[in-house]
Amino acid sequence: MLDAAAQGFRQDVSVGGGPAPVTRTRIWGREDLRAERNLWIARKIGLKVLSDRIWQRTAATGSAVARDPIIEQLLTEPAEGERPDFLRLYEAEQRLALLMDDSEIRAEAVGRFAKAQQLAIPTYTELKTAFYKDRTDEEGRRVIYSVLLRDLHAAYQSQEHARYHRAKAARRLNAWGFALIAPGVVVLVLCYWLGQLGQLGPYHVLAVMWCGVSGAFLSRMILFQKVMATIGVEEITTDFSHFAIVLRLIVGVLGALVMYFLIVGEVVDGDFFPDWNGDADIWQRYDAGARKFPWQEPGFNIVSAPFAQLLIWSTLAGFSERIIPDRFARMEVAVSQSRR
């Protein structure tokens, strides 16, 4: 449906972007791990080259110092099968900024500012303006560059945090979809197979409710697909929580039931609304020469046109949160006009 569960292993992941990192568990498949590892190595190579360039520069000027053991440790590749930790690269980059000269900071800042603009970091404009001011000295540019790195790293971790919650919401929607749709499909298939279609007539209200739930779930799925690339963590955790999903499904059921009573009570009419007469309208009968399948109950074919219209309107009432309120508003206007 949205996001198949990955086959793989579980590993603790630290998510930063704030004062205190948050530890969580995530499922990683082998392909995901390989792609993540390659990305980590690619970024590590750039930092390793920068570290070597700094060491060579200091050696050429006669002020060479021993390589920072902390940086060397942070740039050590993770063991095979271990998920790489990008926080180590972020710390190494921050430490390298303390050793860079002004020309290196100016060169590296070009790409970092471009990335900050792409990520729409709030401090981008202020930092860039301050960085390129004529009166900003070398130490001032170093401080601004360090702040820029900090904000970039926080943005990276916020993106990762949002991806985690989007995947979690997708799995949650998948689980709800399976739990809601699968039982109805199983019941319908069994009734076809056992030839018990005629026994479903008295329970058509349950079909109306099921269509209302399905319509509500479909609307939630479509909404998620539209906003999942841009929605923030706060919206994900509220709009697609278990509570929000259940509440939306309840609204869908109520909308379908109200539409059912409006149709049965002949409050609404028109070419698109069924003339509902109860159980007798559920199934169409076979004609004399119609083909019959051995697992079908003799005499029954497909759902009737009135029942199909009823289910369609039930699904629409569950899908849209505006159909029933709009219908009530029209009824209120009609009642007010009739009193005049």
Between the alpha carbon of residue 338 and those of residues 64, 249, 254, 324, 334, the distances in Å are 94, 35, 28, 21, 6
What value does the mean pLDDT of the chain take? Answer: 79
- 14 token code pair: 């630290």
**pLDDT attached to residue 153:** 93
Could you tell me which residues come within 8 angstroms of residue 27 by beta carbon, excluding any fewer than 6 positions away? 5, 6, 8, 9, 10
Q: By the 8 A CB rule, do 16 and 157 touch?
A: yes
Specify the amino acid at residue 86: F
**pLDDT attached to residue 302:** 64
Cα 227–Cα 233–Cα 236 angle in degrees, nearest 5? 55
**pLDDT attached to residue 244:** 92
Q: Treating both helix axes as pointing N-terminal to C-terminal, what angle do 124-131 and 138-194 enclose, rounded to 10 degrees?
A: 160
Q: What is the pLDDT of residues 118-161, one digit of tens each?
A: 999 999 999 999 999 988 899 999 999 999 999 999 999 888 88
Most confident of 47-51, 96-100, 143-147: 143-147
d(CA 211, CA 317): 9
**pLDDT attached to residue 134:** 85
Residue 300 sits at φ, ψ, to 5 deg, of -110, 140
Burial class (CB in 10 A: 0-12, 13-18, 19+), 269: exposed
Under the banding of pLDDT at 50, 70 and 90, the label for residue 4 is very low
d(CA 196, CA 300): 10
With 0.85 as the threshold, say if the pTM is over it: no
* Averaged pLDDT for residues 315-331: 86
Instruction: With a cut of 70, say whether residue 262 has pLDDT above it.
Output: yes
321 compared with 250, residue with greater pLDDT: 250
